[in-house]
Structure 1
Amino acid sequence: MAEQLDDNFWSNRYLNNSTGWDLGAISTPIKEYVDQLKSKELSILIPGCGNAYEAEYLLAAGFKKVTLIDISEVLVKNLKEKFSAEIEVGKCEVIHGDFFKLEGQFDLVIEQTFFCAINPSLRPQYASKMAEILAPNGKIAGLLFEMEKPEGPPFGGHTQEYLGYFEPYFNIKTITPCYNSIKPRAGTELFIILEKK
């Protein structure tokens, strides 16, 4: 790929408001998953968090340990302002950085358009890094695209390909077509729940 999907690339997308992937709210499948979580003490990571509507929803619902990471400096600056009250009381942390260099342990990773935003050559590394940062029995939950889209971002892919990355590290609890996608994404999303082995 000629294009570097780095800070400059993503910061320019935010500065130019070229964010077609941005739903403006938490997606229905993730909202319904979050709504059934019992413990508000879970340590939750949202990588490649974008405008972080998921974090907004989690914090409003009483979750106390939400970490956001994004490679775009412009975006992270905005998020630090947006979540300043939650950051101050220790309920939220916002990191400007590269997910692949992240350290820490999390109970749950919310996957919302991060996997499809990275260069597909990094997908095996994504799976191993997720296993590294998840606590025992930790989970990835969220959405992957099920469609042909070699030119991205977002990049597409298919279930069989994804299983190849995840099965070495995770018990596949769910990988199924979404029944509750928003209309523009109907028929193109898989809901996943992967539990660390």
Structure 2
Amino acid sequence: MSIRKPLALLLVAGAIAATSVAIAANAPAGGGAAGEAGLPANADLTRIEGVAELEGADIVRGKRMYGQQGGNCISCHGWDGNGLGKNPRSEGNAALLRESGLDAAGFIEIIGCGIPGSPMPYHDSQAYKDDRCYGMTKADFEAGGEPHKGKAIKKNDIVNLVAYIMTSIQAKPAATYEDCVAWFEGTADKNCAGMKP
């Protein structure tokens, strides 16, 4: 392994542990309540105000991408970002998105490029075909050590996904029964019964 590879992996680890910078972005004019615009009820639009990478993001679509329609993030990270999804690859120990200190650029990079040496897959269809991901290509990895490939997600949908995570999961307290009902909507009776106060 070249010196470049361990350095790149250290940079990835550092990005995961990084504390968030003041982030805030794309609230509708007037900053009305999230529910009024069809957004998740707990969406805090101030978390993405002024974040250039998330300009024009569709948080409602981002929620669908987080669910089974897109990246299926819930299978590892759980519907509420607690890291306790049921995917055997994550072993119920995926990143705690509620506690993540990543900024928008960090989330975009990790969703696109994954985290080499971990169960986190990459979702950019061009990842590791060139050096866009941590300056590495597939040739830089030993056989069997290549990053995991996830379902391809278009760049604009990665942006939508990040906007959803940052407004509705990151920096939120532990999920409540009300959060569960908002996530599961029509199937809340079945999925949220154990959380009733």
Larger Rg: 2
TM-score, with structure 2 as normaliser:
0.27
TM-score, with structure 1 as normaliser:
0.27
Choose between structure 1 and 2: higher strand proportion: 1
Greater relative contact order, per chain length (Cα 8 Å cut-off, separation 6+): 2
